[in-house]
Amino acid sequence: RRVFVDFGGVMTAAVVSLNGARLGEHRGGYTPFSFELTQHVDWRGDNVLAVEVDSTERADIPPFGGEIDYLTFGGIYRDVALRFVPQTFIENVFAKPVNVMSADRRVDVRCYLNSQGAQPAQLKLNVELRDGDRVVNNLGPVELWDSERPKLYKVRVRLLEGGRGVDHYDARVGFREARFTPEGFFLNGQHVKLRGLNRHQTYPYVGQAMPARVQRRDAWILRRELKCNIVRTSHYPQSPHFLDACDDYGLLILEEIPGWQHVGDAAWKELAVRNVEAMIRRDWNHPSIILWGVRINESKDDHDFYTRTNATAHALDDSRPTGGIRYNYESEFLEDVFTMNDFGIPLRPPNHPRYLNTEFIGHTYPTKRSDNVERITEHTLRHARVHNQLGSDRAYAGGIGWCAFDYNTHANFCSGDRVCYHGVSDIFRIPKPAAGFYKSQCDPKEEVVLEPAFYWARGDHNESFDLAVVCSNCEHLKLYIADSVVAEVDPDRKNFPNLPHPPFVTDLRQVLWRGWGDLKIEGYIGGRLAITKQLSGRGVDRQLLVEPDDTELIGDGIDSTRVVLRVTDEYGAPRPFANDAIVLLLEGPGEVVGENPFALFGGVGAVWVRTKEAAGVIRLTAKHPTLGTKTVEIRVRRTPADVPTI
């Protein structure tokens, strides 16, 4: 048998050796690579596998060469595994559903074999399509993959030698048709307005090095909590665990190659073309991916270079269109979809028949959760205004806002602390009020949403409370102060006629003179009370909440979960000026990934809990200087099959 070592990602370059024998070098921090170890293994003794990592921002490797608006951190930050295979094995499989919407649908399966030495004469490939444990013998009616019902099948390819199975390869597939047209984007023949956010894979404390469960949580947040239907993997191929979760949850993806504005010399461009190939070969079976980004983000035109990146993508995968993220409205159009970063309000009109807005707001209006109410409210309304315009014309396929989560960056791009506060959620993935706009655009049959785009604090306004904005998918709101009705409001369809669910806007100046007190907001659908939210008028911190994302983990020394810390009023509403230091005590087979004591920012924060290689119960206790202590328990099991995943 043969043995390989597989690296999911090493930032930025890696030289790999086994027992002193140099196996090779890989340049690029976002694409996977493998080296064969077979010839250098000492099968009777110890072996030393060495990886020499250069994590500097090397100008010869994309995305570097100029200053970029994000940090790449360093090290071996994705999965590493040993792989044992026969002399001839299946290296890759591309399972491509064809004619999905017609009666003659099929799956074209392209297999890539790797063979060493004399190849046996009796090699055969057997291909099955499976629905769970059931083998699908013909492609009659199949269940389509879409954003609401992301049905997945499995293609299993078996390599047979003399009738005996010697290797197999499983690829998940989804039957779906995704088309960009002059009339917008269509999924399985249905018009869908794309509404989403960009994602950086940056986390506090560990940079990019988070395990599968945490990567999957981001997809869950985007699809299930923020109700997005698309994400852009800005500005590089992201974790396969994140992409797998997008397949599972129905979150569409624009995936792109590493880069940010700068284009280097011929050797640099050659690496970029290889990045196109590596990205597509790794990810071509993901039904969630609907667009390959084959242009360096916001770079100048380069006809020969981008002709080549497009040709490479089309040669490898003719089932998906290409896009190229640009900021120049007059840029040369070589791709299939014109993908444009437009930060203006109003947006420019579409100037090509397939047009997708891929960034807006972001750096033009950075917002912290501790900013004053006017800024927080305006941040929310700016996202709403852009999506309202995108909804005004079907020629806009949709828009992907900048961005989902705050992220680390270089000093020239941040607010002075190497954090870009561009997200609708903070770097801990905790939503700011602007996140409520995205969440409110879902059908109330999925979830009834009511999210104020303000904090209830009378003295935190420049003049008076003239603009109270609530994001909701209700049909009517009633607002009470101290149990008296002060306003009844309908959605603001005058200013937001093209949104599924416009925000509610009201002026409270004329009612606050009556007095201050608790605010209660009731949301009505079909004349019935559907949801209630209350905010305390007392201005007092009342509760410490400690909320783990998961209560069961795998004791493998890697598995992790986020634990959110909040100080709230008596109704659970955030207290944005609570910046207390929380002292953490952990008992059991785990460790805290984060600061301890932890200083809240805007009343919230988070740490992660990582397991050790043992089973048991982790008890995490958080102590607040005035609100006492709270303890949560997380059960740790050694067997992965016993632990649920999101």
Helix 303-316 / helix 266-283 crossing angle, nearest 10 deg: 20
Q: H helices within 340-488, ranges in order?
A: 373-390, 435-440
Q: Which of 229, 236, 232, 266 is nearest to 250 (CA)?
A: 229
Q: How far is CA 288 from CA 176, 282, 283, in A?
A: 9, 14, 10
Burial label, 102 (beta-carbon count in 10 A; 0-12, 13-18, 19+): exposed
Active site residue 298: yes
Secondary structure letter of residue 263 according to DSSP: -
Cis bond leading into 383, ω under 30°? no
Q: Quote the CA–CA distance of 77 and 211 in Å, as a whole number.
A: 9
Active site residue 547: no
Q: Which of 639, 632, 597 is nearest to 617 (CA)?
A: 632
Q: What are phi and psi of 222, to 5 degrees?
A: -65, -45
C-alpha neighbours within 13 Å on the C-beta side of residue 379: 30
Q: For tokens 């043969």, what's the residue? A: 2
CA angle 87, 89, 92 (to 5 degrees): 150
Sheet of strand 468-472, all strands in order from the earlier edge strand to the far edge: 450-452, 468-472, 504-506
Q: Quote the CA–CA distance of 590 and 13 in Å, as a whole number.
A: 31
Q: Quote the CA–CA distance of 58 and 61 in Å, as a whole number.
A: 6
Choosing from 177, 255, 298, 451, the catalytic residue is 298
Under a CB-based contact definition with an 8 Å cutoff, are residues 388 and 437 in contact? no
Burial label, 457 (beta-carbon count in 10 A; 0-12, 13-18, 19+): middle
Q: Can you say how many angstroms the Cα of residue 120 is from the centroid of all Cα atoms in its chain?
A: 44
Q: Quote the CA–CA distance of 526 and 487 in Å, as a whole number.
A: 19
Residues 6+ apart with CB under 8 A from 104: none
Q: Which of 592, 589, 615 is nearest to 605 (CA)?
A: 592
CA angle 421, 426, 431 (to 5 degrees): 125
Q: What are phi and psi of 407, to 5 degrees?
A: -150, 160
Torsion of CA 298, 300, 303, 305, to 10 degrees: -60
Q: For tokens 């087979």, what's the residue? A: 589
Q: Which amino acid is at 35?
A: F
Torsion of CA 247, 252, 257, 260, to 10 degrees: -140
Pairing of strands 396-401, 194-198: parallel
Choosing from 36, 255, 359, 451, the catalytic residue is 359
Write down the number of H helices and E strands in the chain.
7, 43
Q: Which amino acid is at 296?
A: I
Q: Quote the CA–CA distance of 168 and 170 in Å, as a whole number.
A: 7
The set of catalytic residues is 298, 359
